[in-house]
Structure 1
Amino acid sequence: MPEYEFRCEECGPFVQWISMKSITETIICPTCENEANRIYSPPGVILTSCTLRRRVKQSVIPKVVQREKANGQHYGHRHRTNRPWMVGH
């Protein structure tokens, strides 16, 4: 259910959770029980500069990091037995 803003002439603004189907019905103020008018406000859109948008977009791409081999050894799994399906402990 979306949240809508209303303004009562006596009490001021308040927020009410209402289904989209029943938004056309008359809303009653929860405090003084008078009819309230809906407040139409712009959506919460954040406008960013081109530079900031580009930096955020570049940070989404994962960086590929490669490890160096230490002493010529392989970093993968080494089998200590003659059976590769058995994990050596």
Structure 2
Amino acid sequence: MPSYTFRCNDCGDFTLFFKSMAGNKDKSTCPICQLESNRVYFAPNVYSLSRALSSQIEKGMEPQIMSREELGPNKPRKKAGANRPWQFG
């Protein structure tokens, strides 16, 4: 849902969440004093991940070569038995 932040000269900043998609989004009336307020534009937050987290994500995308010992012992699979009385197995 888009939010729009406006700055009133008397009351300060306020945010509107339900603003019509059509119409003027550059000005709005202050909900406290009813004066006309101008919209405040912020730079988009594109780097919100920490460096450690982003490097961990990038490492996860690289294929890793592992030996049999690193994978662990092979566990025998359970045979699928006849769980339904009408099936023969």
The TM tier, using the shorter chain, reads: 0.5 to 0.7
Gaps of 5+ in 2: none
Alignment of 1:1-80 (within 5 A): 1-17=1-17, 18-24=19-25, 26-46=27-47, 49=51, 53-59=54-60, 67-69=73-75, 74-79=76-81
Shift of 1:79: 3.1
Q: TM-score, normalised by structure 1?
A: 0.61
Greater gyration radius: 1
Gaps of 5+ in 1: 85-89
Q: TM-score, normalised by structure 2?
A: 0.61
Partner amino acid, structure 1, of 2:88:
R
Alignment size in residue pairs = 78
Distance 1:15 1:24, change over 3 A: closer
Shift of 1:6: 0.3
SS at match of 1:38: strand
Partner amino acid, structure 1, of 2:8:
C
Q: State the Cα RMSD in Å.
A: 3.4
Taking every aligned residue pair, what percent have the same amino acid on both sides? 29
